[in-house]
Amino acid sequence: DLEDDGPLEIVAAAHGDAPEFFVTDNHGDYLPGWPKPAEVWTYSTPSVVELDGEPVIFMCRRLGSDPDDMLYAWDAEGNLREGFPINKMGGNEGIISIADVDGDDEFEVVFGSDLFTTDGPGFLHAYELDGSGEVAGFPLRPRGVNAMNGAALGDINGDGMMDLIAVSYTLTFGMGIDSLYLNAYNLNVPYSPERVLWSTYKGNNTRDGLLTPQIFSGTATLNKSLLELKAAPNPARNETQLSFSLEQPLQASIHLIDTQGREKQQLPPRRWPAGTNQATLTLNNLPAGLYWISVRDKEKLLGTTPIFIKH
């Protein structure tokens, strides 16, 4: 809801003979200031987050080896954000993630690259939002190419530190057997949910493509709207115990969702007291694999954490 008027808007990119970046209302009519010509096709899905109380739209396009504008950041009216577009060699048609990946309490934009050789490493970039350039320690160079993919960000081993997860692959065009790699990097900076605004395809693992909860500052430290959930043991076999703390009592339900977005278990709504709370989830009737535990009230998602079931 870019205009804060109730109905949702559509943010997208088009390829083909008339490639463009566009925003429409729910009737399909362009909003003022849109569309923007892309000049070359792109398959990249846009990322939309709120910074300083205003929506910011990130979109990118493919490029060759010659430097050019490749990643843009606009407000809802189509005005470029200061510090954008990013101009560099190679475009991007994968996920654009927004997170504080260097621990400076400011958000960065994280994305892959179309640049690759058939047997060389790919690129995972992170740029500051103020236009000051690439983050120290980036680009990361995963084995194989990262084109059409991107980065997911979270804490995959529960150590309280942020991890970057990305898919890469070899591409031999039928001349050999290609391989797929799942890469995980420890970024050596603290992780908490409010430090990640947009991660993975369509922003989060619900794949709903909706805006993240509103951020009232451009910094990563002031959004406390999400609960920090902890599941232990994790991985788990028969059951796991979910822990979380509340500043005040609230009515909430607990949900267990698989990677296809299907709800597999629900603890019905109840009133949780202020302070530390725990809930036990039975897992022995579920297939092994990755699941997501979430806590919700009547209106919104309050927090989420992964759980891996093993047998």
Q: Where are the domains of the chain?
A: 10-203, 230-309
Using alpha carbons, select from 266, 290, 61, 263 the residue that is nearest to residue 154: 290
Amino acid type, 40: V
Give ∠ CA 127-211-29 in degrees, rounded to 5.
105
pLDDT of residue 208: 60
Using alpha carbons, select from 98, 96, 71, 99 the residue that is nearest to residue 85: 71
CB atoms near residue 291 (< 10 Å):
25
Buried b (16+ CB within 10 A) or exposed e, 203-231: bbbeeebebbbebeebbbeebebbbbbbb
In the predicted model, residues of the chain with pLDDT beneath 70 are 117-119, 201-225, 260
pTM of the full structure: 0.67
pLDDT tens for residues 73-106? 999 999 999 999 999 988 888 889 999 999 998 9
Domain 230-309: give its CATH superfamily. Answer: Macroglobulin (MG2) domain (2.60.40.1930)
How far is residue 234 CA from its own chain's centroid?
22
Rounded CA gap, 8 and 23, in Å?
11
- Kindly list the distances between the CA atom of residue 161 and the CA atoms of 95, 164, 235, in Å, as whole numbers in the listed order: 22, 10, 18
Asked if 71 and 83 touch (Cβ cutoff 8 Å), the reply is: no
Report the relative pairing of strands 289-296 and 108-111 from DSSP bridges.
Answer: unpaired
Name residue, tokens 């451009």: 218
The DSSP result for the chain, as a single string, is: -TTSSSSPPEEEEE-SSS-EEEEE-TTSPBPTT--EE-SS---PPPEEEEETTEEEEEEE----SS-EEEEEEE-TTSPBPTT-SEEESS---S--EEE--SSSSB-EEEE--S---SSS---BEEEETTS--BPTT--B--SSB-TT---EEE-SSSSSEEEEEEEEE---TTSS---EEEEEEEEEEE--GGGEEE-SGGGSTT---PPPSP-SSSBSSS---S---EEESSSBSSEEEEEEEESS-EEEEEEEEETTS-EEEEEEEEEEPSEEEEEEEE-TTS-SEEEEEEEE-SSSEEEEEEEEE--
